[in-house]
Amino acid sequence: MRFPDGFLWGAATAAYQIEGAVAEDGRGPSIWDTFSHTPGAVLRGDTGDVACDHYHRWREDLDLLGELGVGAYRLSVAWPRVVPAGAGPVNPAGLDFYERLVDGLLERGITPMLTLYHWDLPQALQDAGGWANRDTAAHFADYAAVVHRRLGDRVPYWLTLNEPYCSAVVGHLDGRHAPGVRDERVAVTAVHHLLLAHGRAVAALRADGVTGQVGITCNLTSVHPASETPADVAAARRLDLHENRMYLDPLFRGAYPADAEAYYAPVTDFGFVHDGDLDLIAAPLDFFGINYYERHHVRADPADPERGWQRVPPARPTVTGIGVHPEGLAEILERVSREYTGLPLVVTETGLALHDYAGPDGEIADDERIAFFEGHLRAAHGAMTRGVSLLGFFPWSFLDNFEWASGYGVRYGLYYVDYPTQRRTPKRSARWYATVIRVNGLP
Ligand code: IFM
């Protein structure tokens, strides 16, 4: 199985999950600093204070990426490193760091793909209401322009947001992520302000004459009713609204889904949508990033027949409780291409969490991860043969790292990080992936 010439084989990370150095060189605090230091918020009280110490070890890490042979690397810029209070003075040392990273990648022949927001909202903006406050969207656009002015001549791929669903819903409805709010009205408002932030940032980059390609990454799920009963079908449609259509419809159709206002009416009206917002949100992009982890079978919730749903637990859950369903990736790629956009797509993340460990011989034998990626690459390739335009594939993650509310309790990396010593060791999957890249397909 071979991929087209020029296919972008990448790897992905995010700033707070790897950098550490949270109080160095002028970085301001983010909502994840606050949240991770809140007792009970993160497993075992882990924080990103040190994480993979990538802020200091970036040269070594870029060398590892070079050894792996990736053509591209997806990293995120920490907003509070660049604009410590979220709005106002810029911190030149923060920009210097990302400039060193981008230049270091280019020197090694690796294409940078930059995410501008991977969940680390400056705490000062949270203190002013965070994503519930419309002004946050304008501040994000200003910050995007600042980063673009420094790096626009060298970065060919720009992503505004990573996974607005997680920022809005996991952060403001489930409360499992920063800022730890549990309020559906706030969550729905946050969805809109995040999308507006994306739209304003795209406009800012375009106004600045961006020459790179501009996109956004959404985490999408494949949703199926557990049976054909009207109640299960309706429940699946509600979950699809909640997880997928609330993002895809405004981005690619310039409108919230027809059933959205009625569904959310018990908690909020859509008064937060102002004239012109949806035009900004739906402004043309150059590519679309998809993160894929979950496929759901859904049945009605007898306790909440009007608004609820129940996810049928997977038959073989992984350590994070979700199943492995590569076919869901193909379903999503094909659905997005068929129903929403002809833009080139990029799988900006997919990956498997394991409790990896080094065996007596020092080998980290993550064969399940190899099988996971092999299945997902077959699925992606299948979608391509059926007409999907796919530019690249970015395993999550390059390194083991701070997995948000799970702290360091699960590992996603191609490289094992021994946190006490910060030693990096390639897992078996890293060697396998290096071969995939070399042969441009499955070995
Ligand atoms: O670690 C996260 C990443 O930050 C966003 N997408 C999902 C990954 C695994 O949970």
Over 90: is that where the pLDDT of 279 sits? yes
Band of pLDDT at residue 186, cut at 50, 70 and 90:
very high
Residue 88 within a domain: yes
Is 250 contained in some domain? Answer: yes
Strand, helix or coil for residue 369 = helix
Question: 307 CA to middle of ligand 1, Å?
Answer: 27
Ligand 1, residue 403: give the atom nearest the CA: 1
Q: Residue 1 falls within a domain, yes or no?
A: no
Mean pLDDT of 303-329: 97
pLDDT for position 293: 98
pLDDT of residue 323: 97
Percent of the residues in the chain that have a pLDDT greater than 70, as a whole number:
100
Instruction: Select which of 163, 294, 331, 403 is catalytic.
Output: 163
Residue 3 placed within a domain: no
Residue 28 per-residue DSSP state? P
Please identify, by atom number, the ligand 1 atom nearest to the C-alpha of residue 118: 4
Q: Which domain holds residue 12?
A: 8-439
Q: What is the dihedral of CA 200, 32, 426, 319, to 10 degrees?
A: -110
Region 218-232 average pLDDT: 98
Q: What CATH number is given to the structural domain containing 14? A: 3.20.20.80
184: annotated active-site residue:
no
Asked if the structure places residue 2 within a domain, the reply is no
Q: What is the mean pLDDT of residues 238-247?
A: 98
Domain count, the chain: 1
Taking only the tens place, the pLDDT of each residue in 340-382 is 999 999 999 999 999 999 999 999 999 999 999 999 999 999 9
Q: Residue 400: pLDDT above 90?
A: yes
Q: Whose CA is nearest to atom 1 of ligand 1?
A: 403
Q: Is the pLDDT of residue 417 over 90?
A: yes
Q: Pairing state of beta strands 345-350 and 310-311?
A: unpaired
Collect all residues with Cβ–Cβ distance below 8 Å to 224 and sequence separation of at least 6: 236, 295, 296, 297, 298
At 443, the pLDDT band (50, 70, 90 cuts) reads confident
